[in-house]
Chain A
Amino acid sequence: MAATPALEVRDLQKSFGGVPVLSGVSLSLFPGQVTGLAGENGAGKSTLMKIATGQLHQDGGEVLIDGEVVSHADPILVRKLGVAIVPQELAPYPDLMVYENLFVGRELRGRAGLLDRRAMVVQARSMLSELGVDVDPTTRMNRLSVALTQIVEIAKATTWGAKVLCLDEPTSSIPDREVERLYAVVRKLKQQGVAMLYTTHRMAEIQELADQVVVLRDGRLELDCPLADTSEDGIVRAMIGRDLGSLFPQLTPASEEVGLKVRGLQLERGGPKVDITVNKGEILGLGGLVGAGRTEILEALFGIRRSVDGAVEAAGRAVPRNAPAQAIHRGLALVPEDRKGAGLVLERSVLDNGSLPHLSSFSIGGWIQARKRRTAVGLAMKSVSLRARGLDQTVGTLSGGNQQKVVLARWLTQTAHVLLLDEPTRGVDVGARGEIYTIIRDLAASGLAVLLVSSDMPELIGLSHRVLVVRAGGLAGELRRDDLDRDDAQEKIFRLASGQPTDVSAESPLPDSAAAEPGHSLDHPQRSSS
C-alpha cells in the first residue's frame, strides 16, 4: 500500500505494574478504511486505543499521525492532529440539549462573547443530517436511545475534524435492532475518507463493516489481514488461541423434586400475579423484551425489590418476602445484571467480596474467623476455576469473566438452593462465556434450581430446560425443551413476548426506527432497565 497511513503505530510496548499489556504491536490505519479490532477482554485493545489517542504513554515504540511521529502523549494535541476516540462508556451531558453536547468546548460565540445558540442549532442540524440521522438538535440528550447517543458522540468527534476515529465497542450497549443506524453512520464516514479503528466482540459486525481485521491476544498481534482473506473461525481461533467447539454444554436431566416454588407473587397492587415452579437441577429461562419485568421478578424473589403479595418456597421452606438477608439464609442467590454496579465492591479483594453474602457464617459474635473464611472462599473460587493472583487480589483488576465467576462463586460457600441469574454473560468474552455456561450447568446438575434471565436468544434457548416468556410483568407463555429445539423457537418467544409482532415498532420511541424483524432480537431500544 503506497498511501501514507492516517495513523500508524510501530512496535508498541506497554506494561502495567510489570505485567505486559502490549508487546510489539504494529498496525496502520488508512483513510476510508475500517479496521476491525477484535480480541478478548484484557487482550490490550483499550490500551492500544488509549495510546493511539494520547491518553497513555507507551513504554516503547512510536505513534505516527500522517507520517509524523507524535513525541509525547497529549490527548489535546492528538485531537488537534485529527485523531478522536469515542469511548465505550459514553459521557454525555444528559440534561443538556443535543446541540449543546455537540459544541461543548468549542461553543460558537456571537457579538459580546455571548453564546450564539441559533447558529449552533443550525450547524448541529446540518452535521446530523450529513450523517443521515434525523434528530432535532434541541432534544435533551437523555431522551435519546443509546444508539442515538452513540451517534451524537461520533458526530461530536468527527466535527472536531477527526480524520481517524477510534470506536471502542460502540455496539456493546445497543440493541440489535438499532445497530443498523450505527452501521449507516460508519459507512458514511468511510465514504468521507475517515480512517476507523473499530473494536468489537461481535463477529457479525466485523463481517458487516471491516475492510481489514486485526486480532490481539495477550498483547500480541495475532492476525492482521484483509477481511476477505480470513474466516469467522479463523478470527475466533486467533482471539482465543484454540477452536471454539460448542458453546453450550450438554444439559443434565432435572429432578422431580421442587426447588423453587412461587405462588401469586405480585409486585404492586393490581399488578399481574406470577406463579413459577423450578425443579431441582432445572434451568428455567425467562425470556421477554427488555423492560418486560424479568429483572423485577428476580429482585422481588430475592427481596431487594418490594412485593405486596405472594408465597415463595425454596427447597420446601418458606422464604420471607422483602428481606434479602433472610432470602440468603434460605439458600437464595442472586447474580445481578449490573456486575460492577450491583454485584461487586470493586476496590475490595476477592476474599472480601467472596465472603460478604455469608459473612455471619464465618464469624462468631462479629469476629471474622480468618482461616475458616479463607478456606471456604478459596474452595468456592476453585470450583469455578477463578484465575486470579490470589484471594487478596482486588476484584476491580480482574477481567469481566473472572469478575462474574466471583459473583457466582461467592454464593457457593454455603449450601444454596436457588440461583437467580440476570444476564450472566453480559460483557463477558467468548472464551469465558463457555466456561460460565459449564459452571451454570454443573451447578444445576448438583441440585440447584436455576432461574435464568437472558436477552441473548441463543443463550436462553441453548442453556434452558424450559423457557417462560414474560410480558408486562406477567407470564405470557411457556416453551418446553422440545419446543426450544425447533427452528421457530426464537420467533415463538418473540411473538409471546411482544403480544403480536406489529406492536413492537409502535412502542419504539425512535421516529424512524426500522420495523422490528420477528425473531431478530428481544431488545427494546431503551435499555436502561430490564
Chain B
Amino acid sequence: MSTATATRPSDPSAPDEAPPAPTWNRTRIENLLIRNAMALVLLLVIGYFSYKSIRFATLPNLRTILIAAAPFALVALGQTLVILTGGIDLSVGSIIAISAMTGAKLVVARPEYLWLAVAAAIGVGLIAGLINGLIISRLNVAPFVATLGMLTAASGFAYVIGGGAPINGLPNEYGKIANTDILGLRAPVLIMIAGFLILGVVMKRTAFGLRIYAVGGNRTAAEVAGVNTRRTLTSVYALSGALAGLSGVILSSRVISGPPNLGSGYELYAIAAVVIGGASLMGGRGTVWGTLMGLLLIQTLNNGLDILVVPAYWQKVISGVLIVSAVAVDMWANRRATT
C-alpha cells in the first residue's frame, strides 16, 4: 500500500494492483472453513450419525435419503429462484396438491393417456405459478400476500377436484413413474440431480440467471439497465409452480393415489432449505448449491433421527433447534469473513 500511494493520485479505497498470490497460511485455511461453514455442519451431523449407528453410513441408506429428498428438492429449487428475486412462494404446498389431484383425476378417467395426465398436472402447477407471478409483477401485490392467497385457494381447489376425498384406483403404470430405476438411481433422484445441474448452470451462465440476481439485488437498477423485471418475476413464479407440479406427480405416484392434503407444509421446508443454504430473504444473495446443502442437512437429520429411533415429536423439536442453529452459525461465519 505505502509504495503505491505515490503513484495513485486518488481513490485509495480501490487499489489497482493485483491481489497477492494466495499462500496456504493459517488465515486462508480459517477463511476457507468459515466460508464453508454449512458444509462443515453437514459433515459433523453425518459424522455423529455414522458414529452412533452402523446402519447410517451405508449405500442403501444414502439412497433412502436421496429418494426422500427428491420431491422437496424440486420445490426448494423453485423457491431458491423466488427468494433470489426477494420474494417468497408460500403456495407450493397447495400447488403440489392441486397438480396431484388433477393428474390423478385425469389418469383415472382415461388411463390410456397417462403422460398427457402427467403433463396436465405439471401444466396446472405452471398456471398457478403464472397467476402468482402476474399478480405480483403487474398488480404489485406483495409476494407473501399473493402466494398466501394461492396457498388457500389452491388447497380448496384440490378438495373440490376430489369431491372432498382422496382419488383412488390409479393405474399401476402411474405408480411406476416414481419407482423406476434408471442407471441404478430412482427416477425422482435423477430428476433432482438434473434439476440442480440445469439450474446451477442457468444461474451462472445465462442472461436469465443474471437478471434474477439483478432484480433481487436492486429492482430499480435492473429496470434502469433495461431488464424487463416484470417478465423476470413472472417467469420465476411460473417456474416455481411448474416444479411444484412435477413434485406433485412424483408424490402421488409414490402413493398411487391423490390425497388432497398432499404436500402440505412443504413450502416451509423448502424455505428453510434455501435459507440454511445461505440465501438472503431480501433477495440477490444465494446459490442453488447452497440450497442443495440445506436440503441435504434437513434430510440427513430426519433420516438419522429415524435410525436412532428418536420419538417423532422430539425429532421435530431437534430439527427446529438445529435449523436455527445452523443459520446462526452461518451468520456468525459470514460476519467473521467480512470483518
- Residue ranges of A at the interface with B (Cβ–Cβ < 8 Å): 16-17, 19-20, 23, 40-43, 217-219, 240-242, 302, 304, 324-325, 327-328, 334, 336, 338, 341-348, 352, 355-357, 359-360, 363, 366-368, 370, 387-390, 393, 397-399, 401-402, 410, 429, 431-432, 435
Contact = CB atoms under 8 A, between A and B. Distances in A.
B116 interface: no
Interface string B1-34: 1100100111111111011000000000000000
Given A40-B12, A366-B208, A402-B11, A343 B224 contact: yes
Given A341-B218, A352-B213, A389 B12 contact: no
B225 A356 contact: yes
A196 to B, nearest CB: 25
B14 A368 contact: no
Size band of the interface chain B makes with A: 35 or more
Contacts of A16: 339
Given A367-B207, A370-B205, 6 more contacts: A325-B228, A328-B225, A341-B218, A352-B213, A363-B206, A366-B208
Given A241-B9, A367-B205, A368-B207, A387 B14 contact: yes
A368 B224 contact: no
B74 to A, nearest CB: 22
Nearest to A219: B12
A327 B226 CA distance: 8
Nearest to B280: A347
Nearest to A220: B5
B224 A401 contact: no
Contacts of B220: 338, 341-342
A136 B338 CA distance: 43
Contact of B11 (A336, A401, A410): A401
B19 A429 contact: no
B15 A334 contact: no
Contacts of A336: 224
B217 interface: yes
B218 A357 contact: no
A240 B224 contact: no
Contacts of B9: 240-242, 431
Contacts of A347: 217, 284-285
A42 B11 CA distance: 7
Interface in B203-243: 205-208, 210-211, 213-214, 217-218, 220-228
Interface in B53-106: none
B14 A402 contact: yes
Nearest to A341: B220
A357 B207 CA distance: 11
What are the 5 closest A-B residue pairs judged by CB atoms, nearest first?
A42-B13, A431-B10, A345-B217, A218-B12, A356-B225
B1 A218 contact: yes
Contacts of B15: 19, 387, 389
Contacts of B284: 345, 347-348
Nearest to A352: B210
B206 A346 contact: no
Contacts of A363: 206-207
A70 to B, nearest CB: 19
A325 B226 contact: yes
Given A240-B9, A389-B15, A344 B211 contact: no
Interface in B286-339: 338-339
Contacts of A390: 18
A41 B12 CA distance: 8
Contacts of A20: 1
B208 to A, nearest CB: 6
A231 to B, nearest CB: 20
